[in-house]
Amino acid sequence: MTTYGEIVEPYTRACWEDWDELFEEDSARFEWVRKEAIPNAIDCFIVLEGKSFINYIENKSNTKLQYVDSINKIDVTLYKTNELQYVCVVKDNNLLNSSEIVDLLKPYIIVSKDVVTLQTKPLAEYQSMDVTNEMCIIRTVCTSHQSKTNVNFRKLEQPNIITGVSAGVICLREHLGLCGKALVCYLEYIEEHQIEELQSLLKSLNIVSCVDATSNNILDSNLYI
Amino acid sequence: MHYGLIKMNNLDNIWNYSEDTTLDNYTVIFPCVAVGNVAQLACDLLISSLKMTKIASVYSKALIPVVGYDPYDLNSSNLSCSCEMYKSDDKKLIVFQIRAPIVIKYASEFLEEVITKLKEKNIGDMIILTSSFAYEKKHISTSPFRYVSNESCPYNSTVKTLDCLVHESDSDLKIHGGGFASLLYRIASQKLLPCLIFFKYCSEGNNIPDAYEMVEYISKLLPIIFDKKDCMLQFVQPPSWKLLFGKPPPSDIY
């Protein structure tokens, strides 16, 4: 809503924080709730970022996840599937917090032999000259040191990029000279988690025990949302 | 291959240099994330046009993480991250590229580290590029370009010959919409680094012409373009700009 005569400039896509009104120091730092001991070695550390995965994991009884710890003030939970595989589920979608979340995950990331991240994005954000009718496009971003995780998709074409905790984790691994692989799933319907490709991915990463295409109650109902 | 993996201070930043190099008397161009991303687009143009090589990549908690493949070479499998440093030996020029905003609460610490690192490398001077909201321009008929410089800046006489004005500001330098430019300038000046802020008043939209103009002005300050006559024709857009305004419309809408 604007008043008559007011000049309305498009809100800058660049300024995430207001640099012109400096500065109330935000001293709120995040920390682990239980402060669990960091294991000496982890075979694979997985980061799941995006509603589709999270809804699916939370609603299904066939996941293998056991709660380990969580970060206060934001929605980040750490699970393990066994002593050698940890899964971090990131619900917080504030990009400004992502580097701090990565900082808290750093001890786990450093001791891990391999790191895999999965995130979902709306298909509309996928930039390509090719016109396609696919409902789900999966691409990878790999560090210079090759990840041993056997999940292979085409590399993410420029100018597409990934952001958030997944990007931070892969950047950190690259800068430390360690291996890692980011998987990004572009979905037509971002809330949709019945897509077989996603479930197969979770199964191949040993997060769920079987591919289950049964649907969620709300999406199945006659409610139009 | 990583030369000199250096960690320091509370942010635990990682500077990965791909070559062990000194930068004696190099000029550093540093873009700020600001209105229309003009400075970043200008740096993209410089890196692409001068075929600059990446010499360092910085990981910091102060930067919102971004990762993708090399935006200047579509066939490359090298990663590009939030903050990278490019070099042209011929021009004695370093251009930073910042692909994500800096988190305010870590900004001072990070930018201080940037200046310290650059001084350790013995750089000569720094040009900070940024932009400001078009509606902040008070004198309508004047050039859209403004500058601020400290006493030791080597461009103080040259910049006066260009069609741009000194930015009018009180003792506390403010560039509205200019991001961290004034903070970086303050830190550089405190550390006695010759420094110039160069910015353009503009609005969000297609900011490619703004970037072209900015690079044209820089080429008048620095000997970076050989033929001054057709300066803009020598600029090369990076391939990653191809889809700046989105992908083609889906065929099934027709």
* Least confident residue range of A191-200, A212-221, B112-121: A212-221
Predicted local distance difference test score (pLDDT) of residue B170 = 78
CB contact (8 A) between residue B65 and residue A157: no
CA–CA gap between residue A111 and residue A106 (Å, rounded): 9
Token readout for B98 is 């910042």
Structure tokens at B227: 């033929």
Q: Which two tokens stand for residue A38?
A: 């960091």
- pLDDT score recorded for residue B20: 78
* pLDDT for position A221: 59
Contact A9, B135 (CB under 8 A): yes
Contact indicator for B93, B29 with CB cutoff of 8 Å: yes
A49, pLDDT greater than 50 = yes
Crossing angle between the packed helical segments A196-204 and A51-59, to the nearest 10 degrees: 70
Q: Residue B9: count other Cβ atoms within 10 Å of its Cβ.
A: 11
In chain A, which residue's Cα lies nearest the Cα of B78? A144
Q: Which two tokens stand for residue B152?
A: 């030791």
Percent of chain A with pLDDT over 70: 75
Q: Do B179 and A14 touch (CB under 8 A)?
A: yes
Mutation target for B interface from A155, A175, A186, A188: give the one with most B CBs within 10 A.
A175
* Dist CA B149 CA B199 (whole Å): 12
User: Residue A12: is its pLDDT beyond 80?
Assistant: no
pTM of the model: 0.88
Q: How confident is the model at residue A92 (pLDDT cuts 50, 70, 90)?
A: confident
With an 8 Å Cβ cutoff, are B71 and A158 in contact? yes
Q: Which residues of chain B, if any, have pLDDT below 70? A: 1-11, 226, 228, 250
Find the DSSP H helices in chain A: 51-59, 95-111, 164-175, 196-204, 217-220
- How many contacts does A have with B, using Cβ atoms within 8 A? 155
For B143, counting Cβ atoms within 10 Å of its Cβ (0-12 exposed, 13-18 middle, 19+ buried), the class is: middle
- Find, among A109, A2, A133, the residue nearest to A45 by Cα: A109
- pLDDT, residue B22, reads 83
Cβ–Cβ gap A160/B71 under 8 Å = no
Is B34 in Cβ contact with A171 (below 8 Å)? no
C-alpha A119, offset from chain centre: 4
pLDDT of residue B6: 41
Question: CA of B183 to nearest chain A CA: how many angstroms apart?
Answer: 10
From A7, A141, A172, residue closest to B68, measured CB to CB? A141
Mean pLDDT of the region A60-72: 80
Is residue B95 within 8 Å of B132, Cβ to Cβ? no
Of B115, B91, B103, B110, the residue nearest B218 (C-alpha): B91
**Cβ–Cβ below 8 Å for A159 and B71:** yes
CA angle at A174 for the pair B3 and A139, rounded to the nearest 5°? 145
Burial of B166 (0-12, 13-18, 19+ CB in 10 A): exposed
Touching check for A170 and chain B: CB below 8 Å?
A: yes
pLDDT given for residue B9 in this prediction: 46
Distance (Å, whole) CA B223 – CA B92: 10
> In the predicted model, is pLDDT for residue A39 greater than 70?
yes
